[in-house]
Structure 1
Amino acid sequence: MNGNKKKLQTPYYAVIFTSQRTKADNGYEKMSQAMVDLASNQQGFLGIESARDNDLGITVSFWESLEDIKKWKENSAHQVAQEKGKEEWYSDYKVRVCKVERDYSLE
């Protein structure tokens, strides 16, 4: 899990990406890291958390605004990764965009 160490100021937005992978890697791990690096430099990016087992992957990215999320979705390198995901890496996926009104943790 890649955790956010800093406390985020609410409200903010979360993009929840759940996926089922195909068997072949075909450059997935390399592209996945490249997308995290690219997203972290996008306006409004606040952080990311991710977990995967053999059946299900869950990645949640955090953003300041819906406009920032839209710009990330439209990023040309991200669009290449999205197409490759549809063609090779995912047998199924779902994207959910949520407004986070409140968060708290053990700390």
Structure 2
Amino acid sequence: MSFAQTPSPPYYAVIFTSRRTEKDAKGYNRTADLMVELASKQSGFLGVESSRDQDGFGITVSYWDSLESIKQWKNNLSHQKAQVKGKKDWYSAYITRICKVDHDYHSL
């Protein structure tokens, strides 16, 4: 996965930090890929970056143009079904944080 190509700030980031269980890894990977595909078609989606270590600790950051776009994604029915499955089977713990990006700098 490469760096998300975000516009000049301001924009928003949803930071999803999680610890995976060992349950249903195949189903998880398929669903995660589908969620990225669906999110990329959602109005206001700017990009995503994700990483997970061998112990199951992961961070996914999705970027959005507005809080309203984030709300629409949270209310997406397919996303809601994946959230239910994640809470039930795939995550032993998670935290979602939403923040506004006022500044960024880079060397790409």
**In structure 1, what is the equivalent of residue 82 of structure 2?**
81
* Match status 1:68 vs 2:57: no
> Gaps spanning 5+ residues in structure 2: where?
none
Give the 3 Å change call, closer, same or farther, for CA 105–30 of structure 1 in structure 2. same
Percent of residue pairs identical: 57
Q: Please say if residues 2 and 50 of structure 1, whose CA atoms lie closer than 8 Å, have aligned partners that are also in contact.
A: no
TM-score, length-scaled by structure 2: 0.93
Report the secondary structure of 2:36's partner residue: helix
> Gaps spanning 5+ residues in structure 1: where?
none
**In structure 1, what is the equivalent of residue 103 of structure 2?**
102
Q: Please say if residues 16 and 97 of structure 2, whose CA atoms lie closer than 8 Å, have aligned partners that are also in contact.
A: yes
Q: Please say if residues 11 and 102 of structure 2, whose CA atoms lie closer than 8 Å, have aligned partners that are also in contact.
A: yes
1:3 CA displacement: 1.7
Task: Report matched runs for 1:37-76 at 5 Å.
Answer: 37-55=37-55, 56-76=57-77
Q: Please say if residues 16 and 59 of structure 1, whose CA atoms lie closer than 8 Å, have aligned partners that are also in contact.
A: yes
TM-score, length-scaled by structure 1: 0.94
**In structure 2, what is the equivalent of residue 15 of structure 1?**
14
Letter aligned with residue 28 of structure 1: Y
Question: What RMSD, in angstroms, separates the aligned Cα atoms of the two structures?
Answer: 1.1
Q: Please say if residues 9 and 101 of structure 2, whose CA atoms lie closer than 8 Å, have aligned partners that are also in contact.
A: yes
| Mapped partners of 1:88, 1:54: distance in 2 | 18
